[in-house]
Amino acid sequence: MTHSALIEELKTLVEPGKVLTDADSLNAYGKDWTKHFAPAPLAIAFPKSIEQVQAIVRWANERKVALVPSGGRTGLSAAAVAANGEVVVAFDYMNQILAFNEFDRTVVCQPGVVTEQLQTFAEEQGLYYPVDFASAGSSQLGGNIGTNAGGIKVIRYGMTRNWVAGLKVVTGKGDLLELNKDLIKNATGYDLRQLFIGAEGTLGFVVEATMRLDRAPQNLTAMVLGTPDFDSIMPVLHAFQNKLDLTAFEFFSDKALAKILARGDVPAPFDSECPFYALLEFEASTEEVANAALATFEHCVEQGWVVDGVMSQSEQQLANLWKLREYISETIAHWTPYKNDISVTVGKVPAFLHDIDAIVEQNYPDFEVIWFGHIGDGNLHLNILKPDALSKDEFFAKCATVNQWVFETVQKYNGSISAEHGVGMTKRDYLSYSRSEAEIAYMKAIKAAFDPNGIMNPGKIFPV
């Protein structure tokens, strides 16, 4: 069947005007934030109901057409890239909050609900949705679930999977499954809900999610601390964790801070210049808690772990301190960074970072390297910036040659090649550094059970 005939059939499955094939739409909806692959989808379909999603999936099985899910397209692993003539299924019109249960503190959402939309809804109910990251204003819930998104609050609240009470999914066969039915306690065999969280759309599409909410935190307060070296950050983390229940513990390098300050819209936290900085957050619910934070800061200074620091005194100052960390990804995007999102257990972080740093310095002496990450949960972001003199393809090829050594180090420390960005296409060839051959075989068998014709986001997580 010709492409034009396939597109005409696809148009009958959704509402009029909800299939796009113009060049601008194909380019916009065929990619995510990665720049490794050129988008080349067949068409973009916008379902408005679960029934329409099922119709698209059943049609795709019949016609052997591959499907790629599209949410906010803020992913960093190319999991939402359509580079091989697939039909993109975009959930922009399935974007409603459907129901709220005040007793269970749950909210039923369609997959196109934007993360910030859910956060705002929770605030309006006097509650809190804690999964948060820089792209919260554009990422969609379905994508968050598909990649098991993490972010800046994992140390206290965990990943997206911790907040999913129930799911409705359309499998690769076109079946509609209702998973867990929002129960807190449910001991009835396999929890299929968890298989779909982090599956990147390779088993099926999330078409509805029931999300848990939490109580709203009280008087969130942040501190930014400058340290004389990276090794000092871990005893600082340990000292504060012994005294406070932290909601976040982030770090960034002086080079990352310099890029942010050069933007001109965020002030420096203090005058002292340090090679590394830690940002920590906690609930200063009482004066006693605030005093404990200050006493811990003074202890860290006495021990030589901290050179200087500042604690937020207002919501505006809290927001400004967070901008020092949250603006990093957006700011360095100008340099087309080569990104690695890697993790180990928290106690191994210092040795792990030193090993990776040595590899990078030896092999990329002329490249600028930006370190930042969620150090409180062992997640480091390694960003190598593209020099102006190199083309994108030349630059990525140079970076890829060292991936083997980076990931061998990840494997040595029993870490993950992708802590929170997913596998997609950018990390699929390195999956064996984090997963055993037997694990990967079981993963492929699970995919075959849910998606026997291989139409659901093929080429993501592992090769076709």
Residue 366: predicted pLDDT: 87
Q: Is residue 58 part of a domain?
A: yes
CA angle 11, 23, 60 (to 5 degrees): 35
Judge contact between 198 and 147, C-beta under 8 A. Answer: yes
Q: Is residue 363 part of a domain?
A: yes
Q: Is residue 462 part of a domain?
A: no
Looking at the fold, whether 228 and 319 belong to one and the same domain comes out as yes
Q: What is the mean pLDDT of each run of 10 residues along the chain (464 residues)?
A: 95 98 97 90 98 98 98 93 97 98 98 98 98 93 96 96 98 98 96 98 98 97 97 97 97 97 94 97 96 98 98 96 94 91 95 93 91 95 93 90 92 96 95 97 98 98 92
Q: How far apart (Å, rounded) are the C-alpha atoms in residues 129 and 106?
A: 10
Residue 400: predicted pLDDT: 87
Looking at the fold, whether 225 and 303 belong to one and the same domain comes out as yes
CATH code assigned at 79: 3.30.43.10
Q: Is residue 378 part of a domain?
A: yes
Domain final position from 184, 215, 246 = 215
**Dihedrals phi, psi of 214, to nearest 5 degrees:** -130, 170
Looking at the fold, whether 251 and 317 belong to one and the same domain comes out as yes
Biggest distance spanned by C-alpha atoms of the chain: 74
Looking at the fold, whether 88 and 127 belong to one and the same domain comes out as no
Looking at the fold, whether 193 and 102 belong to one and the same domain comes out as yes
CA angle 367, 372, 377 (to 5 degrees): 140
- Using CA atoms of 427, 429, 435, 439 in order, give the dihedral in degrees to the nearest 10: 120
Residue 178 identity: E
Q: Which residues pair with 68 in a beta bridge?
A: 88
The predicted model scores a pTM of 0.94
Looking at the fold, whether 227 and 294 belong to one and the same domain comes out as yes
CATH code assigned at 291: 3.30.70.2190
Q: Is residue 311 part of a domain?
A: yes
414-453 burial, b if ≥16 CB within 10 A, otherwise e?
A: ebbbbbbbbbbbbbbebbebbbeeeeeeebeeebeebbee
CA distances (Å), 329 to each of 26, 119, 383, in order?
A: 25, 21, 9
Q: Is residue 245 part of a domain?
A: yes
Judge contact between 252 and 299, C-beta under 8 A. Answer: no
Looking at the fold, whether 311 and 349 belong to one and the same domain comes out as no
Looking at the fold, whether 131 and 224 belong to one and the same domain comes out as no
CATH code assigned at 188: 3.30.465.10
Side by side, the strands of the sheet bearing 220-227 are 308-311, 220-227, 276-283, 246-253, 368-374, 379-385, 338-343
Q: Is residue 226 part of a domain?
A: yes
Looking at the fold, whether 82 and 114 belong to one and the same domain comes out as no
Domain assignment of residue 273, given as a range: 220-327
Residue 220: predicted pLDDT: 97
Domain final position from 64, 92, 120 = 92
Q: Which residue has the tokens 């021990």?
A: 303
Domain final position from 61, 92, 123 = 92
Rg (CA), the chain: 23
Looking at the fold, whether 349 and 421 belong to one and the same domain comes out as yes
Judge contact between 254 and 318, C-beta under 8 A. Answer: no
Looking at the fold, whether 123 and 63 belong to one and the same domain comes out as no
Nearest one of 450, 447, 442, 446 to 464, comparing CA atoms: 447
CATH code assigned at 364: 3.30.70.2740
- How many domains, in total, are found in the chain? 4
Q: Is residue 403 part of a domain?
A: yes
Give the orientation angle of helix 233-243 with respect to helix 349-363, to 10 degrees: 150
Looking at the fold, whether 107 and 80 belong to one and the same domain comes out as no
